[in-house]
Structure 1
Amino acid sequence: MHSVPTLGMILKGYPRISETFISNEIKLLEEQGFTIHIFSMRKPRETFSHKSVKSIHAQVTYLPEYLSLGFPRLLWNTLLCALLHTPTFCKTFKFFLSRFSGTAKVHTWVKHFMQACVVANTVQAKNITHLHSHFVHTPTSVAMYAAKLANIPFSFTAHAKDIYTQKPERVAEKMQHALFAITCTKYNKLALETIARSYPRP
């Protein structure tokens, strides 16, 4: 059991050579005294990484990337989460179903919820007290479900295409449930503020 409060970071992939801004952020946070545990939604797809990655001490948990190949681990963690956290599991599953309607990518949505169960089952063992995700699309969906399952807060960093390529009401919903949101440009900040005003908290 870890005694040091830990920040859980949910990423689409780690490490990625195109996302030095994320690895640099993790490195700087560790230098500031943060203990970090990384949850990566897929394994690296490059055969090399930048030198800065080698100086990062964070442990990495790779979540099952595919529903088919990872189904035994995903199913086990989902059942375990349901048994250990029954009230919050039921509440979060109802929330998941309320968002689920009208989507064609059923397997993807189910996978994200089950990945969140893997994260939630890791929270107590690693003493994770907060979850933060990069990109407001799928990593934040996983972070939002996992935070609700584990009854801890979450936040996210929004970047560019993740803001503008999904329905604004989805972005607004995630802002409403997050403790806070960060973005990298003034233009993005104005876009998020506009979305928040257009879709006020229910």
Structure 2
Amino acid sequence: MTAPRQRLVVVVKGYPRLSETFIAQELRGLELAGLDLVIVSLRHPTDKKRHAVHEEIMADLLYLPEYLHKEPFRVLRGFWAAWRKPGFATTLRGWFSDLRRDPSRNRLRRFGQAAVLVAEWPEDGVWLHAHFIHTPASVADYAARIMRTGWTVSAHAKDIWTSPDWELSGKLDRAKWAVTCTEMGHKHLQSLAADPSRVHLSYHGLNLDRFPPFTDPRLARDGSDPADPVQIVSVGRAVPKKGYDTLLRALALLPADLHWRFTHLGGGAERDSLQALAQSLGIADRVRWQGSVDQAEVLAAYRSSDLFALACRITADGDRDGLPNVLVEAASQGLACVSTNISGIPELFRNDENGWLVPPDDANTLATALKTAITSPDLRQQFGQAAAAQVRSTLDYHRSVDQLVHLFAIEGLNP
């Protein structure tokens, strides 16, 4: 007799998204491990490009109403279906308690989306998992409580550090387990959980098949030749936590006779203001803004560059990166990296051993590190190779996929 079909329902904030390659590669990894997925997205895609991995993912897609007022009949059908479920009354009381602490339109939207998910629950769906412990986990939590089914969550960076402790504690207590991808985030979530053993550390790592070793020799540029400047690259959204304003100010502090070019890959709301800043600093002619690109173009940029730079910071509201995937990608190609010593970045890089780490929001110290890196091609080669070895020995994404498959199997979800 054929075993009944079992489908893992995964709630994400938006799909597909260029900036969340790590989620897409994990979903594809789970599929390759034999799990059958349904992706539930709270938002429709806004990126014009897609990565190759998005084309490989076979999961069905369900888009929930991004704005409840735009699909009123669908939302009403959702609440009618949810009202008939045994857990609706207690979940509604819990939602009112949340609303008193967070009286926001967002709180209403998440409850409405959860109701629609209950009404449109995928056939053969047996388990609910959320990527990010803020809004996707809110939808998953409410839906699971209404249906009285189990759910789990993957927490990452912004979602951990911009969520109030009371909300994190409640979700951690109701979820069967949680995983997170940096030691700093792991310790923080464990401190908020009634049962810390249910919070697991799982570095999401990198699909090394897509980032094979780069064995070509890099040119020994040292910034002395105006006709052959050192090529510096950065990949990331132009948003405050990436620290691109600090990076531009650091570049402007470099000696005038040091020759370099900086290329930024990525979109983001701050691109126009950063371009204006580069102009005011007098370095606009050395800076190229390439815009959003796919993974193949990113890989080509790593291989044609001499140095990767990312000046991550913690913003006023607590937002921050964990261990940025682009740093792992760049390191996998033996590309020397300059970054900051926050969050999970020191979990991969050790200052003056396999990269350069400086305090955030310190343009002067960052400029000193950049000058050393630009003028030291042998050191760049040494650090790049050491970082690549670290990535390939510890951050293969198959490890995290295997860990997740094991955790799901405990809940009865088997390939």
TM-score normalised according to structure 1 size: 0.90
* Paired position in structure 2 for 1:108: 106
- Secondary structure, counterpart of 2:137 in structure 1: helix
* Paired position in structure 1 for 2:14: 13
- Secondary structure, counterpart of 2:106 in structure 1: helix
* Paired position in structure 1 for 2:93: 94
* Paired position in structure 2 for 1:45: 46
Amino acid at match of 1:194: S
Between Structure 1 and Structure 2, the one with more helix by share is 1
Name the stretch that deviates more: 18-27 or 162-171: 162-171
1:62-141 correspondence to structure 2 within 5 Å: 62-83=63-84, 85=85, 87-105=86-104, 107-123=105-121, 125-141=122-138
In the TM superposition, residue 72 of structure 1 has moved relative to its aligned partner by 2.1
- Secondary structure, counterpart of 2:120 in structure 1: helix
The answer to whether the Cα contact below 8 Å between 2:81 and 2:118 also exists between their aligned partners in 1 is no
Distance 2:44 2:135 in 1: 15
Distance 1:74 1:18 in 2: 29
Distance 1:13 1:63 in 2: 10
Amino acid at match of 1:195: L
- Secondary structure, counterpart of 1:146 in structure 2: helix
In the TM superposition, residue 172 of structure 1 has moved relative to its aligned partner by 0.8
* Paired position in structure 1 for 2:144: 147
Q: Give the count of matched residue pairs.
A: 192
Name the stretch that deviates more: 145-154 or 17-26: 145-154
Identical positions, percent:
35
In the TM superposition, residue 47 of structure 1 has moved relative to its aligned partner by 1.4
- Secondary structure, counterpart of 2:101 in structure 1: coil
Q: Does 1:187 align with 2:184?
A: yes
Distance 1:193 1:166 in 2: 15
Structure 1 outlier segments of 4+, above 6 Å? none
TM-score normalised according to structure 2 size: 0.45
Structure with more contact order per residue of length (Cα contacts < 8 Å, sep ≥ 6): 1
* Paired position in structure 1 for 2:284: none
Distance 2:137 2:72 in 1: 21
Structure 2 residue ranges without an equivalent (≥5): 195-415
* Larger gyration radius, structure 1 or structure 2: 2
* Paired position in structure 2 for 1:4: 5
In the TM superposition, residue 115 of structure 1 has moved relative to its aligned partner by 0.6
In the TM superposition, residue 135 of structure 1 has moved relative to its aligned partner by 0.8
RMSD, matched Cα: 1.5
- Secondary structure, counterpart of 2:142 in structure 1: helix
The answer to whether the Cα contact below 8 Å between 2:77 and 2:119 also exists between their aligned partners in 1 is no
Structure 1 residue ranges without an equivalent (≥5): 198-202
- Secondary structure, counterpart of 2:130 in structure 1: strand
- Secondary structure, counterpart of 1:171 in structure 2: helix
Name the stretch that deviates more: 108-117 or 49-58: 108-117
- Secondary structure, counterpart of 1:68 in structure 2: helix
Amino acid at match of 1:109: R
- Secondary structure, counterpart of 2:61 in structure 1: strand
